[in-house]
Amino acid sequence: MRSDSNASVSSWLWPALCLALAATLFYFVYENGRLKKQMLEQSGYRPVAQDGAPIGTPARPIEGYLASGERVVLFGDSLARPVILAWFSNDCDACYFAKEGWDRLAGALPGQVWGIRRNLDSGPDSLFFGEPVTFPIVTPIDSTVLETYRVYGTPQTLLIKEDRTVGQVWKGALNPDKVDEIVALAETRK
């Protein structure tokens, strides 16, 4: 009689233990995610698109020079329209391919696309292997803008909204779908 009662106890004990263990594990995973989210919110964390500037942060004005030697300040006060910053390096092969997307953006959004050189020490003759450029290129005076915008690699494209905050960041060359997405975002913000 005892062996029958042991068999009936063990037949429901293992499934009950497995269910209890699964429920406990689920609870700990849920609580861990909830606590992590709460800690990130309390610390002021904002989502970062890859290694680009955090979305929603204030866009720092960029002082620099055009190839003609003219001094410019990008978005010093306020913006009437969104601005697209196309960050590139002269020695970046991917930037050469990204130029096609930036040229398309410059055609669709006249006066809103600005190229920003990441490597400040090379001359204008090496820009995009001598290809013509359809948007103005600025060489920043202060190299700390690279850190402000978290430009650790190129090509990188940023959308700066009218309220002078970073609206979106794209890494790499822009395919036609991305160009259309950026144009749509910039036009809806006008």
> Looking at residue 91, which CATH number applies to its domain?
3.40.30.10
Please give the tally of structural domains in the chain. Answer: 2
pLDDT for the residue numbered 102: 93
Query: Is the same domain home to 167 and 123?
Result: yes
Q: Looking at 31-45, 63-77, 166-180, which range is the least confident one?
A: 31-45
77 with 111, same domain? yes
Q: Which of 85, 81, 95, 94 is nearest to 64 (CA)?
A: 85
Instruction: Check whether residue 112 and residue 163 sit in a common domain.
Output: yes
| Residues 104 and 25 grouped into a single domain | no
Q: What is the pLDDT of residue 54?
A: 77
For 63: left if phi > 0, alpha if psi spans -120 to 50, otherwise beta; the answer is beta
Residue 51's pLDDT band (cuts 50, 70, 90): low
Instruction: Judge if 100 and 11 occupy the same domain.
Output: no
* pTM for this model (two decimals): 0.68
Q: Which two tokens stand for residue 12?
A: 């429901």
**Is 171 in contact with 50 (CB distance < 8 Å)?**
yes
